[in-house]
Amino acid sequence: LKDNPSQYKLTLSGTLKSPKINFHPPFLMLMPVPLDVETEGVVTIIPQDFIRQSQIRVKLPELELADGTRTYPFSVQFPEGQDIVLSSDGTSNELICRVSFRSSKPMSFLGEMLFIDQEEN
C-alpha cells in the first residue's frame, strides 16, 4: 500500500438485536387458597437474541397489608437453574420458573414481577 497511494474504503453494516425474554403462559393466575397454604404456578421463560451467557434474577413485589405491615408473599425457584446458556447453533435454553404465594393474612394482588438479566435488561 505504501507504493500505491490509492485509498480503500470499507463499509460495514449490521443489525443489533436487543436480548429479550418471553413467557409461557404470558400471565399467571394463582388459585385462591386458605390462609397459610401455598399456591404455585409454573412459567417457562424463553430467552431470545442473547449473544452471551447470562443469569436471570427476579425482583419480587413488596405488598402492604390493610394493617400497614409490609410483606413479600411471593417466592420463585428455578429448579433447573437461572443461567441462560447458548447452544452452538445460537439458540438459548428455556428456563422453568416456579412462582409460589403464601400469606397468613387475607389479600389479593394484581401486579408485576420483574425478570432481569445480568446487564439489567
Query: In this structure, what C-alpha cell is assigned to residue 74?
Result: 411471593
For residue 47, being part of any structural domain is answered with yes
For residue 73, being part of any structural domain is answered with yes
pTM for the model: 0.77
Rounded-to-10 torsion of CA 29, 116, 75, 22? 30
Task: Say if residue 2's pLDDT is above 70.
Answer: no
Q: What is the pLDDT of residue 24?
A: 95
DSSP-derived secondary structure for 15-72 = --PPPEEEEESSS--PPP--TT--EEEEEEEEEES--S-EE-EEEPPPEE-TTS-EE-
Cα angle vertex 95, ends 93, 100, to 5°? 180
Cβ within 8 Å of residue 106, ≥6 positions away: 35
For residue 29, being part of any structural domain is answered with no
For residue 113, being part of any structural domain is answered with no
Task: Give the mean model confidence (pLDDT) for residues 14-37.
Answer: 89
For residue 15, being part of any structural domain is answered with no
- Tell me whether residue 53 is exposed, middle or buried, using C-beta atoms within 10 angstroms of its C-beta: 0 to 12, 13 to 18, 19 or more: exposed
For residue 6, being part of any structural domain is answered with no
Range(s) of the domain holding residue 47: 37-106
For residue 53, being part of any structural domain is answered with yes
pLDDT digits (tens, 9 = 90+) for 35-86: 999 999 999 999 988 888 889 999 999 888 888 888 899 999 999 999 998 8
Work out how many domains the chain is built from and give that number.
1
Confidence of residue 99 (pLDDT cuts 50, 70, 90): very high
For residue 8, being part of any structural domain is answered with no
